[in-house]
């Protein structure tokens, strides 16, 4: 999937989950969603065709469940508001890192649509989402770099094993390369 299309898909999934959570602020509906999530996980576990969409399904349901609980228990004044921080980090690690900023923006809009009592305290909570987002972006970017380096290292290791089996002179060169890589 091209990068722009993947980013748009991820943002639409997060927008849909937040919209549903905002309009259905009920802990009973959240419990039903949890049951549906467990059933969906059970069904997709055995299906080969659904495995490529598993991350999208997981984050749709996790975002929906997390924000349903937050909206049902008071929005920005909810005692479980901190779960949104963990969700931001999860989104930045498993989706594109920019999706964390999108999630913070979309959730802030929904939180502002439902003002409670103290506007200053609510703005501080919203600001905390945006202050956590760059950290989540950095962690997400670093995680993607680490994964890419591990892939490159795996390819190099396979190439070195193939070369290692070919001749004694090449084996000595391979050992020198392995020493350089490990140091």
pLDDT score of 182: 64
Is the domain of 109 the same as that of 172?
no
Going from the C-alpha of 90 to that of each of 28, 31, 107, 147, the distances in angstroms are 25, 22, 15, 16
Same domain, 54 and 100: yes
Q: Give the residue numbers spanning the domain of 164.
A: 146-182
Tens-binned pLDDT, residue by residue, of the chain (183 aa) = 567 888 888 888 888 988 888 888 888 888 888 898 888 888 877 777 777 778 888 888 888 999 999 988 888 888 888 888 888 888 888 888 788 888 888 888 888 887 777 778 778 888 888 888 888 888 888 888 888 888 888 877 776 666 656 666 666 776 777 777 666
Can you give the C-alpha Rg of the chain in angstroms?
Answer: 22
Q: What are 51's two structure tokens?
A: 């495995």
Residues 47 and 88 in one domain: yes
Predicted local confidence at residue 168, as pLDDT: 64
Cβ density class 149-162: b for 16+ within 10 Å, e for less: eeeeeeeeeeebee
161 and 101 both lie in a single domain: no
- Distance, C-alpha 149 to centroid of its chain: 20
Q: Which of 64, 57, 55 is nearest to 32 (CA)?
A: 64
Q: Domain check: are 122 and 155 in the same one?
A: no
> How many domains are there within the chain?
2
- pLDDT of 174 reads 66
Looking at the fold, whether 152 and 110 belong to one and the same domain comes out as no
Closest CA to 126 of 137, 113, 136, 138: 113
* Predicted model pTM: 0.73
Q: What's the length of the chain?
A: 183
Q: Which residue has the tokens 């989402």?
A: 129
Strands (E), 37-168: none
Determine the pLDDT at residue 44.
Answer: 77
In this structure, the answer to whether residues 107 and 167 fall within a common structural domain is no
Axis crossing angle, helix 168-182 with helix 119-164, rounded to the nearest 10: 160
């Amino acid at each position: 999937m091209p990068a722009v299309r993947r980013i748009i898909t991820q943002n639409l999934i997060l927008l849909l989950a937040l919209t549903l959570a905002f309009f259905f602020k009920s802990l009973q509906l959240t419990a039903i969603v949890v049951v549906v999530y467990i059933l969906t996980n059970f069904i997709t576990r055995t299906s080969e065709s659904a495995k490529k969409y598993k991350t999208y399904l997981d984050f749709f349901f996790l975002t929906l469940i997390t924000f349903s609980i937050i909206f049902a228990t008071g929005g920005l004044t909810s005692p479980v508001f901190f779960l949104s921080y963990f969700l931001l980090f999860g989104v930045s690690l498993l989706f594109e890192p920019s999706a964390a900023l999108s999630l913070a923006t979309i959730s802030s809009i929904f939180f502002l649509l439902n003002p409670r009592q103290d506007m200053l305290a609510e703005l501080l909570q919203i600001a905390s989402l945006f202050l956590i987002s760059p950290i989540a972006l950095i962690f997400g970017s670093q995680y993607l770099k680490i994964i890419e380096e591990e892939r490159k290292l795996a390819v190099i290791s396979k190439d070195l094993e193939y070369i290692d089996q070919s001749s004694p002179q090449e084996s000595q060169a391979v050992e020198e390369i392995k020493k350089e890589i490990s140091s």
